[in-house]
Chains A and B, each alone.
Chain A
Amino acid sequence: MQKEYDVIIIGGGITGAATLRDCALRGLSSLLIERGDICDGASGRNHGLLHSGARYAVTDREGAEECIRENRILRRIASNCVEPTEGLFISLPEDGLDYQANFIQKCREAGIDAQAIDPAEALRMEPAINPRIIGAVKVPDAAVDPFRLVDANILDARRHGADILKFTAVTGLVKENGRVIGVRTSKGDVFRAREVVLAAGIWTAGLAREAGVNISMMPSKGSLIIFGHRVAGHVINRCRKPANADILVPGDVVSVLGTTSDKVPIETCDDMHATPQEVELLLREGEQLVPSLAHTRIIRAYAGVRPLVVADPAGDGRNVSRGIVLLDHETRDGVPGLITITGGKLTTARLMAEMATDLVCEKIGSKARCETAARHLPGSEGRKPRFIDPFNIRAAIGRHGEEVARMDFDNGGEIVCECEHVTRAEIAYAVKEFGVRNVSDLRRHTRIGMGTCQGSFCIKKVAEVLAGELGVDPEGLVHDYLQERWKGITPVLWGDTLREAEYMQKVNRNEI
């Protein structure tokens, strides 16, 4: 039997990471267990949109208010992960302006600064948008890099004493006299805790069932496509009742278009991928937002699962509340020692963590107060290095902020991934700080291979460098990575993407 933690959190997405941070900052001894890598699930498969709440203002006032509050907090505490792009809600002639009037009213009621602007002014601000617009509203949407945000939470938690166990699945909850007292892992270990928090997104339901608790979850699949560069500088929304493919987000150096929303069987959640039909739908709708998307190169398509908790499993997922769901299984199901935190959004994860940690503290009798809204995340301390540095490390500064101080560019300034300007030093940092197993993990922490060539030219070198760091065989790393990339490339295999893919094959078969 190992040491007893105050709290064990299951799930290394944004919810789990934020909860771990909150617990650690409150001085609780905490352990996070994740079956794969950090940000492996839905947290790494979304829009990267920092909601202003405008999207929900018409249908979900409470959700909208949560969003705008958290939006303001994250801009401050996670400044390096957030890009204050601002957002536009555009109306096309077929949308009419009725929705817009109500939309502005509801936004204001929720405390969201929504400003109607002249279509001509909107086109000046954002020349890429559909010139047919008849109306536009400016809202404080922003882009947030989900990978960096989760990483920053993990780093902060660890630096405040939290433990993290990755690549380790929880195979069962350990119960004693009806109380959950710990977890059993795929490696055969048992970890004890005074409270166990389920924060595993759609996988929460399965874990809860282990403890005899029923949570009715509805997996709602959302597919997205990534375009090779930034076509617009603002988040572009369609000002109408939420529908498919009506948000385009400038995420880092790419553009992300999404999403679809389809109810899917829970068994499919472990292998999510976008289909050609979804890509077609996204493109058709996306062109209405920004016409140039029709001829912009698509890098790949991907899909994530929204962990929605529902009363009515018949809906399509879009009208279901995406509100925060905090379940105290002691009062709800008579199972003490177990808490579930789910639902919500990337934007509201900090608040979800605060709510979950408040409950944990109540259960274990801690009076510690939440500090997560006041303290800056690592990399966002506000002393961001200025762009006077050599070209090869600027992208790293953009990604990691002050964390670049931990990267040894003197000995690793050489660029390995040219599309995204990833150096040896950044790879070494990611290996050290996040304990990566393979190139896909490395990608999540660095952007390696996320550029237009998708690793065609750097994968072998990346694998060599990583294999050197890890002491493993590089061939296997190459194979696994290409298989994973291929999944996202297949549904968009035409035009320049096809040319690149053919090139990728030739290079990696040593035919070139």
Chain B
Amino acid sequence: MSTGSVNLEQCLKCNLCTLVCPMMEVNPDYPGPKKAGPDGERYRLKDPAFFDYALKYCLNCKRCEVACPSDVHIGDMIQSARIKYGSQAKKKGLRGLRDWTLASTDLVGTVSSPVAPLVNGVLGTRPVKAVMDAVLAVDKHRTFPKYSRQKFVSWFRKQDQSAFDRFVTYFHGCYVNYNYPDLGKDFVRLMNAAGYGVHLLNKEKCCGVALMSNGFADKARKQGTVNLDSMRKAVSAGEQVLTTSSTCTFTMRDEYPDVLGLDNSEIRDSLMLATKWLYTKLSAGEIHLNFRKDFKMKVVYHTACHMQKMGWQIYSIALLQMIPGLDLTVLDQNCCGIAGTFGFKKENYGYSQAIGSKLFADVEDSGADIVATDCETCKWQIEMSTGKTVLNPVEILAKAVEF
């Protein structure tokens, strides 16, 4: 089903993966990518009892895979092992409830949106944070992303796209839909300005990244199947599927086939981040945007781990560099430490912050107005840990364009 264990023997034991693992540096309990991946897999194939619960510390950042000179799917192997052997470790009681809640982005978003001010208010209060910390083990330092009163899709339904004759399909993701519709609105405005209408998928579900990392692989597989069916329809209608979240994109492009065993070959090449699409079209002269003359912004770009894995940071960076008046510095590639829902858990908070400390220092020292990144969870982490505002490159572009 999964390809996780297929190429463990290409590992030459060179340990380059160990050198780049952000978790190993801060957590002596984590055996590291080589031991947790190919070394451990040999033993797990003999007896699942060799599964080590310390594998839960893997951030799934895939930096090990980027470093591996033998193309061993180390991160996939660890993810697959957690799914295959970690089920008995599934937490019961309140921590189980917490993991389920953190993983169920769709459901929680749907419930929260209509009562957004209430939820936002309650989640932000000290007593509630203290209770969540003590009872649910959600770290009290964390700020939950605010829920939006109006979902992105509700706004979108009122947008008339019928005037266009060329379309792209937008996978908005949970964050845009429930928490941050402004990013989606910017995306639609940009596409319209470039002469493209926007369609949504026939049916969109959460990409499943939070489900996978919290041990709900079956549910992730079900949701992935729904997403892939919808994307196949869009792609066969000649539309590309664009996104504004690097992690959703990475999950659907790579984790679907490699970890969940879902075949996405028909849509994989048509699924991409909006920044890649925009840069490619703009640089080829196929679309045109009117940039404002008075735009000024000092920006540092943070490469999210999954961007690095896809190798697509070059598109986001090049796109930002096209903006007149934008002063861009690219930061060293360091993990921010949050790794999706990982950093929200009380037991992981210390590791999260220790891993991110190098990045936070770089951000603070940069003197930038804005931090740009393609990942929403990096955004939460950097905003919480540095006090700087973090924007998606698409939002920055929208600010620089004259509509």
Contacts from A to B (Cβ < 8 Å): 228-230, 250, 252-253, 296-297, 387, 391, 394-395, 398, 415, 418-419, 421, 451-453, 456-457, 496, 499-500, 503
Task: Please tell me which one of the listed residues A228, A252, A500 contacts residue B46 in the complex, with CB atoms under 8 A apart.
Answer: A252
B42 touches A253 (CB 8 A): yes
Contacts from B to A (Cβ < 8 Å): 5, 8-15, 31, 34-35, 38-43, 45-47, 49-50, 52, 54, 70
Q: Whole-angstrom distance from the CB of A482 to the nearest CB of chain B?
A: 15
Most chain-A Cβ atoms within 10 A of its Cβ — which of B35, B39, B41, B52?
A: B39
Contacts A387-B49, A398-B47, A418-B34 known; A452 to B13 CB distance under 8 Å? yes
B46 touches A250 (CB 8 A): yes
A391 touches B46 (CB 8 A): no
Task: Please tell me which one of the listed residues A230, A297, A387, A456 contacts residue B13 in the complex, with CB atoms under 8 A apart.
Answer: A456
**Please, how many angstroms separate the alpha-carbon atoms of A155 and B31 in the complex?**
33
B43 touches A253 (CB 8 A): yes
Task: Please tell me which one of the listed residues A230, A252, A391 contacts residue B52 in the complex, with CB atoms under 8 A apart.
Answer: A391
**Please, how many angstroms separate the alpha-carbon atoms of A456 and B12 in the complex?**
9
Instruction: List residues of chain A with CB within 8 A of the CB of B8.
Output: 228-229
Instruction: List residues of chain B with CB within 8 A of the CB of A418.
Output: 13, 34-35, 39
Contacts A391-B31, A391-B35, A391-B52 known; A503 to B42 CB distance under 8 Å? no
Instruction: List residues of chain A with CB within 8 A of the CB of B49.
Output: 387, 394
**Please, how many angstroms separate the alpha-carbon atoms of A499 and B13 in the complex?**
11
B12 touches A499 (CB 8 A): yes
Task: Please tell me which one of the listed residues A253, A297, A395 contacts residue B45 in the complex, with CB atoms under 8 A apart.
Answer: A253
A452 touches B11 (CB 8 A): yes
Instruction: Look across to chain A and name the residue whose beta carbon is closest to the beta carbon of B40.
Output: A391
Q: Whole-angstrom distance from the CB of A287 to the nearest CB of chain B?
A: 17
**Please, how many angstroms separate the alpha-carbon atoms of A453 and B46 in the complex?**
18
Q: Whole-angstrom distance from the CB of B17 to the nearest CB of chain A?
A: 12
Most chain-A Cβ atoms within 10 A of its Cβ — which of B5, B34, B49?
A: B49
Q: Whole-angstrom distance from the CB of B138 to the nearest CB of chain A?
A: 28
Instruction: List residues of chain A with CB within 8 A of the CB of B43.
Output: 253, 394-395, 398, 421
Q: Whole-angstrom distance from the CB of B32 to the nearest CB of chain A?
A: 10
Instruction: List residues of chain A with CB within 8 A of the CB of B39.
Output: 418-419, 421, 451
**Please, how many angstroms separate the alpha-carbon atoms of A496 and B8 in the complex?**
11
Instruction: List residues of chain B with CB within 8 A of the CB of A456.
Output: 12-13
Instruction: List residues of chain A with CB within 8 A of the CB of B41.
Output: 229
Q: Whole-angstrom distance from the CB of A291 to the nearest CB of chain B?
A: 14
29 contacts between A and B (CB under 8 A): A229-B5, A229-B8, A230-B42, A253-B42, A296-B9, A297-B9, A391-B35, A394-B43, A394-B49, A394-B50, A394-B52, A395-B50, A398-B46, A415-B35, A418-B13, A418-B34, A418-B35, A418-B39, A419-B13, A451-B39, A452-B9, A452-B38, A453-B12, A453-B13, A456-B12, A457-B13, A496-B9, A496-B10, A496-B12
**Please, how many angstroms separate the alpha-carbon atoms of A391 and B28 in the complex?**
12
A503 touches B46 (CB 8 A): no
Instruction: Look across to chain B and name the residue whose beta carbon is closest to the beta carbon of A250.
Output: B46
Q: Whole-angstrom distance from the CB of B10 to the nearest CB of chain A?
A: 6
**Please, how many angstroms separate the alpha-carbon atoms of A452 and B46 in the complex?**
15
Instruction: List residues of chain A with CB within 8 A of the CB of B40.
Output: 391
**Other A-B pairs beyond A456-B13, A500-B12, 8, CB < 8 Å:** A253-B45, A387-B49, A391-B52, A415-B35, A418-B13, A418-B34, A456-B12, A496-B9
Contacts A391-B31, A394-B50, A496-B10 known; A229 to B42 CB distance under 8 Å? yes
Q: Whole-angstrom distance from the CB of B29 to the nearest CB of chain A?
A: 9
Instruction: List residues of chain B with CB within 8 A of the CB of A496.
Output: 9-10, 12
Instruction: List residues of chain B with CB within 8 A of the CB of A229.
Output: 5, 8-9, 41-42, 45
Instruction: Look across to chain A and name the residue whose beta carbon is closest to the beta carbon of B10.
Output: A496
A391 touches B14 (CB 8 A): no
**Please, how many angstroms separate the alpha-carbon atoms of A438 and B14 in the complex?**
25
**Please, how many angstroms separate the alpha-carbon atoms of A233 and B338 in the complex?**
38
Instruction: List residues of chain B with CB within 8 A of the CB of A451.
Output: 39, 42
A503 touches B12 (CB 8 A): yes
Q: Whole-angstrom distance from the CB of A79 to the nearest CB of chain B?
A: 14
Q: Whole-angstrom distance from the CB of A3 to the nearest CB of chain B?
A: 45
Per CB-CB distance, the 3 closest pairs between chain A and chain B, nearest first, are A297-B9, A453-B13, A230-B45
**Please, how many angstroms separate the alpha-carbon atoms of A500 and B14 in the complex?**
10
**Please, how many angstroms separate the alpha-carbon atoms of A391 and B5 in the complex?**
19
**Please, how many angstroms separate the alpha-carbon atoms of A457 and B13 in the complex?**
7
Instruction: List residues of chain A with CB within 8 A of the CB of B52.
Output: 391, 394
Q: Whole-angstrom distance from the CB of B302 to the nearest CB of chain A?
A: 33
Instruction: List residues of chain B with CB within 8 A of the CB of A391.
Output: 31, 35, 40, 52, 54
B12 touches A228 (CB 8 A): no
**Please, how many angstroms separate the alpha-carbon atoms of A297 and B9 in the complex?**
6
Task: Please tell me which one of the listed residues B34, B42, B50 contacts residue A228 in the complex, with CB atoms under 8 A apart.
Answer: B42
Q: Whole-angstrom distance from the CB of B247 to the nearest CB of chain A?
A: 29
**Please, how many angstroms separate the alpha-carbon atoms of A252 and B38 in the complex?**
16
Instruction: List residues of chain B with CB within 8 A of the CB of A415.
Output: 35
**Please, how many angstroms separate the alpha-carbon atoms of A229 and B8 in the complex?**
9
**Please, how many angstroms separate the alpha-carbon atoms of A499 and B68 in the complex?**
14
Instruction: Look across to chain B and name the residue whose beta carbon is closest to the beta carbon of A230.
Output: B45
Instruction: List residues of chain A with CB within 8 A of the CB of B5.
Output: 229
Instruction: List residues of chain B with CB within 8 A of the CB of A503.
Output: 12, 14
Instruction: List residues of chain B with CB within 8 A of the CB of A252.
Output: 46
Instruction: Look across to chain A and name the residue whose beta carbon is closest to the beta carbon of B9.
Output: A297
Q: Whole-angstrom distance from the CB of B12 to the nearest CB of chain A?
A: 5
Instruction: List residues of chain A with CB within 8 A of the CB of B54.
Output: 391
**Please, how many angstroms separate the alpha-carbon atoms of A481 and B34 in the complex?**
24
Q: Whole-angstrom distance from the CB of B115 to the nearest CB of chain A?
A: 44
Instruction: List residues of chain A with CB within 8 A of the CB of B11.
Output: 452
Instruction: Look across to chain B and name the residue whose beta carbon is closest to the beta carbon of A392.
Output: B31
Instruction: Look across to chain B and name the residue whose beta carbon is closest to the beta carbon of A502.
Output: B12
Q: Whole-angstrom distance from the CB of B186 to the nearest CB of chain A?
A: 47
Instruction: List residues of chain B with CB within 8 A of the CB of A419.
Output: 13, 39, 42
Instruction: List residues of chain B with CB within 8 A of the CB of A500.
Output: 12-13
**Please, how many angstroms separate the alpha-carbon atoms of A196 and B40 in the complex?**
47
Q: Whole-angstrom distance from the CB of A310 to the nearest CB of chain B?
A: 38
Q: Whole-angstrom distance from the CB of A504 to the nearest CB of chain B?
A: 9
Instruction: Look across to chain A and name the residue whose beta carbon is closest to the beta carbon of B38.
Output: A452
Q: Whole-angstrom distance from the CB of A329 to the nearest CB of chain B?
A: 44
Q: Whole-angstrom distance from the CB of B335 to the nearest CB of chain A?
A: 23
Instruction: Look across to chain B and name the residue whose beta carbon is closest to the beta carbon of A457.
Output: B13
Q: Whole-angstrom distance from the CB of A325 to the nearest CB of chain B?
A: 35
Instruction: List residues of chain A with CB within 8 A of the CB of B38.
Output: 452
Instruction: List residues of chain B with CB within 8 A of the CB of A395.
Output: 43, 50
Instruction: Look across to chain B and name the residue whose beta carbon is closest to the beta carbon of A297.
Output: B9
Instruction: List residues of chain B with CB within 8 A of the CB of A421.
Output: 39, 43
